[in-house]
Chain A
């Protein structure tokens, strides 16, 4: 017959086994938490330089992904204070630009933000060409990105090539404008030297094509790009592209001020792109279109 002491020891052992099991279950459950609440490690994992910033989807292919890269002004990113300054500014761009766009906010779980801690920060310096001299870090780890932003602190002209853009932290709207080219594939709509391509129901290669498209009937005001400026100006000659939104000033125009929202023609394309994501589920229509303003309260 077991003594009281041995029974107590048995109970303690049983209790310790229960706590061990609970600890294991807790660890597993924490591992299943969304990456939005990140665990803390002391150093970047070997072989990767990209980390979760604001991430809703555990599988990157289920979202459109933005990777934000620090410029040299943010200093050595192994220093926590420097990294915090970079992340604070990244949060500013996300909060003041992306999260002020009603269409994006209405589908916020479809757009994830990552940040990069490269071996060497990107540089944006005064240059002699159209744009500042820009040096990008090795972006191989960001190959999954739909858009890449190099965030910098020096007030120089911002430029965008393909899916890459430099963004001065003090400059509004540019990040979402460039993101919209890269991710949605929508063209510029301003006059007269933008990047234009035929993309119904936004832009058409002829007036006849614009006026005949039932898809733009809800807002149709087909104007050639030089005639659609805000305010209307004298004919500035080419380009021979027709906008379905007339002189409505949206984020792809930016001719008459700072407009943060998309127009109704933009939304048709954006919605199609959002619906193309695996497991997209319900896509929420925005409650406002340009030129109506909206602020996240």
Chain B
């Protein structure tokens, strides 16, 4: 009785299986590649179950952000008096997508090549509040006299390229410079 040799059969089966697996993963529907057309889409995505703990990705490259903890003080009339740096920290992290965003205040980044980048932030003293009872909703804002807030500044662009940020400056809604600091690489790069 003629029998096919076992090894070639196993090899063929393995190649087919590998090809099927590769095809199903590389050409499939990665969430990062899917797009949703306008209009009623399919079922709503569901959040992961509580047992599923996949840490947020860390950058594969050396990209970093500076986190400036700033104390903002106003006088009795609510006029801005001072913005002071309480703490600076540089960490390895992805950055928020802030460039191109506008706001009441403007954060300007001056690079070592004298190029200027900027993004807007809401006046850090401003708090917006919401109440609701039954169907009625109340909304408004107020300016707090003294606040401490964290300003996250990208030191790399979204592709990971170093922006070479040398100076960080903040101007208020009146165009007045209220804060400036050089980027203190060594001092801010110490551990948390």
Contacts and interface: CB of A to CB of B under 8 A. Distances in A.
A65 B96 contact: yes
Interface string A47-62: 0101111111111111
B3 interface: no
A236 interface: no
Nearest to B192: A140
Main secondary structure, interface of B, reads: loop
A35 B124 contact: no
Interface in B32-56: 32, 34-41, 44-56
Contacts of B100: 185, 272-273, 276
Interface residues of A, number: 110
A50 B32 contact: no
Interface stretch (A108-116, A118-126, A208-216): A108-116
- Which residue, of B35, B45, B137, has the highest number of chain A Cβ atoms within 10 A? B45
Nearest to B153: A143
A162 B17 contact: no
A15 B128 contact: no
B53 A130 contact: no
Contacts, number: 263
A238 interface: no
Given A140-B91, A157-B129, A22 B17 contact: yes
A1 interface: no
Contacts of A273: 97, 100-101
A113 B47 contact: yes
Contacts of A5: none
B75 interface: no
A157 B130 contact: yes
A282 interface: yes
Interface residues of B, number: 81
B133 to A, nearest CB: 9
Contact of B149 (A88, A162, A193): A162
B48 A143 contact: no
A161 B96 CA distance: 16
B71 interface: no
Given A197-B173, A254-B137, A14 B57 contact: no
B76 interface: no
A38 B89 CA distance: 31
A14 to B, nearest CB: 6
Contacts of A140: 67, 89, 91, 192
B35 A282 contact: yes
Given A108-B36, A193-B142, A159 B129 contact: yes
A182 B126 CA distance: 13
Interface in A222-239: none
Contacts of A50: 55-56
Given A15-B10, A51-B53, A52-B48, A33 B38 contact: no
A58 B126 contact: no
A292 to B, nearest CB: 13
B7 interface: yes
26 contacts: A22-B18, A25-B18, A29-B21, A38-B54, A41-B53, A51-B53, A87-B50, A91-B47, A107-B36, A108-B41, A115-B47, A140-B89, A140-B192, A143-B65, A143-B94, A144-B56, A160-B127, A160-B129, A161-B126, A161-B147, A178-B128, A194-B140, A195-B104, A197-B104, A273-B101, A285-B38
Interface of A: 11, 14-15, 18, 21-22, 25-26, 29, 32-36, 38-41, 43-45, 48, 50-62, 64-65, 80-81, 83-84, 86-88, 90-91, 94-95, 99, 102, 105-109, 113-115, 117, 129-131, 139-141, 143-146, 157-163, 171-174, 177-178, 181-185, 188, 190, 193-195, 197, 199, 254, 257-258, 272-273, 276-278, 281-282, 284-287, 296-297
4 nearest A-B pairs in the assembled complex, by CB-CB distance: A34-B31, A185-B101, A38-B52, A84-B50
Given A52-B48, A144-B65, A278-B158, 13 more contacts: A22-B18, A35-B57, A50-B56, A54-B45, A54-B48, A84-B50, A105-B41, A106-B37, A160-B128, A181-B122, A182-B122, A273-B101, A277-B158
